[in-house]
Amino acid sequence: MKKIDTEKVKQFYEEVDAVWQEDKWYTYSRKIIEKFILNQNIAANHYILNAGSGGSDYNLSNKMEHLDLAENKINIFPNYTVGSIENTIYPDNSFDCVICVGSVLNYTDALASISEISRVLKSKGQLILEFESSWGFEHLKTKAYKKDAEILDLKYYNSYHKQWVYSPSYIESILNSYGFKITMTKKFHILSSLHFRFSQNENKAAYFDKFDSFLEKIPYFKNHSDNLIISAIKL
């Protein structure tokens, strides 16, 4: 299977000042993700694995283990591990909740990552997972469009990086195979994704994000969102 060079990913995120690019597109993404996480009402006593933390605790007061390839983004926390979600050092059934957002999944093998998440997550534990979809309008007429899994060169911080994009049905099938039940899904960057397909300008495309709350109720459009965030329970 194709692989992404994790050393290049590590080097890139160690060198940038901030994990989140400061423009309208990514400011909106972060807002949607943070709101979704806070709306899950995670119990205060739940132990969380923040996989691909990037240095954010999402304003949660829970005991949290931060996992990331870039040590300089997480070494400010008392509990952290340098590594990838594809292969961790944690014992089985260690966590009550796993958060894996910021398209962290798109830098990894989704099957290996979800398998590892399932291993370290307790029964009845919660997974919050976000990823970039191959169904996004951004990928129209590319080799990745609607594919289960494909590697593309995607623009971030004015340079191109190899990332996986995954179809929602592929991710759902993996989750189902590891005994997860999806309880909530939020889709975002819908019409903005179509604008970006032609403009290649994220700031201009982000203007159309204001239509997400309407378009995510319309089957055709919601299926073509660039990003999805999912809440699931391990049965």
CA distances in angstroms from 136 to 39, 63, 68, 119, listed in the order given: 25, 35, 27, 30
Tokens read off for 102: 């910021």
pLDDT (0 to 100) of residue 159: 83
Q: How far apart are CA 126 and CA 144, in angstroms?
A: 30
What is the CB-side half-sphere exposure of residue 224 using CA atoms within 13 A? Answer: 18
- What is the dihedral angle through the alpha carbons of 10, 146, 99, 15, rounded to the nearest 10 degrees? 20
Q: How far apart are CA 13 and CA 159, in angstroms?
A: 13
pLDDT along the chain (235 residues), means of 10: 86 92 94 97 97 96 97 96 96 98 96 98 98 97 96 88 96 98 98 95 95 95 97 97
Q: How far apart are CA 66 and CA 78, in angstroms?
A: 9
Does the global pTM surpass 0.85?
Answer: yes
Is the CA virtual torsion 137, 159, 3, 185 positive or negative?
A: negative
